[in-house]
Amino acid sequence: MAINLGLVGKKSDPIPFQYNWKDTVLYALGVGGKVEELDFLYEGKGPKVLPTFAVVPSFTSMISVAGNLGVNPMMILHGEQKIILHRSIPSEAKLQTVSEVKGIYDKGKGALVVVEATTSDDKGQPVFDNVFSIFVRGEGGFGGERGPEAVKADPPNRAPDFEVTESTSREQALLYRLSGDLNPLHADPNMAKFGGFDRPILHGLCTFGHAGRAILKGACGGDPSKLKSFGARFSGVVFPGDTLTTRGWKEGGQYIVTTSTQEGKVVLSNALADAA
C-alpha cells in the first residue's frame, strides 16, 4: 500500500473545537493532576490551564492526516510532538485548527510525516501551534528525501536542575482517553494483545502531559505563562501504574528534558522546553 505523497503542502479545512473549564480540568486529572495543583483543578481558581492541553484541540487534525495517508493504521506510530504557546490557554474558548503536511520523508524502514497545526481563537488570533510527526512502518524506500536531521538534546554529564517523580495510576489511560483519544489499544486488553502488548498501554500524549506538569513545577514555579514551547520524541512504552521521573537540565534559555520509568527506561527523549 503506497503512502499518499500528494498530501505534502496541502492545508486542511479549519477544524472547530469548543471547550470549557470542565474539559481542561478533566485533562489535568488525566495527566496526573494532584490536589496540590488546585489552580488547575478547581473552577474557583479560574482554573488555570496546563500548557500541554494544546494537544487536545489539534488531536483531530492528526487523526485526519493519518486517515488520509492511505496506509495500514496498525503500522502508524506517533513519533514526536511539540507545542508552541503564543499566550496562556483560556479556560474556555471556541478554537479552530488548520493543519498542513510539511513533508513526507523516506527513512528506509518507514516514512516520516511531519505536520504543523495552527490553532486560533474565534477572532482569528493565534493561541498555540502543534508540530507532530507520524512514523509509518514499512512505507520507506520510495526514493524521497530523508528530511532534516533530528535535533539532538542529550543531557549533560551533571546533576539535573530539577527532578520530579510521580506514579501513574492503573486507571490513568482510562481517564486520559476521555480527553479525546479513544483508541482501544489503551483500554481493551484484547486489542492491546493484538497490538503486541501484554496489557493496555498509556497514551504517549499522557506521558507528554505528565512531563509538562513536571516542567511547570521544576522550571516555571507553577506558572503556565512561563512555558513557551515543549517538544519531545516518544521513545518507549509506558504502562498505567508505572512511575515516571522527569529530569531537566538548564542550558541557556532552554531545558533539556528526559522522562524515564522506574526501570530506568527512557520514554521521552530529544526533549527541549523553552521556559522563561
Active site residues: 181, 186, 201, 204
Residue 50 CA to residue 226 CA, distance in Å, equals 11
CB 49 within 8 A of CB 90: yes
CA distances from 239 to 198, 201, 203 (A): 10, 5, 9
Q: Which of 29, 57, 25, 62 is nearest to 44 (CA)?
A: 25
Residue 252 CA to residue 138 CA, distance in Å, equals 39
Q: How far apart are the first and last CA of the chain?
A: 46
Residue 210 CA to residue 245 CA, distance in Å, equals 9
Q: Number of helices and strands (H, E) in the chain? A: 5, 10
Q: Which of 273, 163, 134 is nearest to 212 (CA)?
A: 273
CB 80 within 8 A of CB 258: no
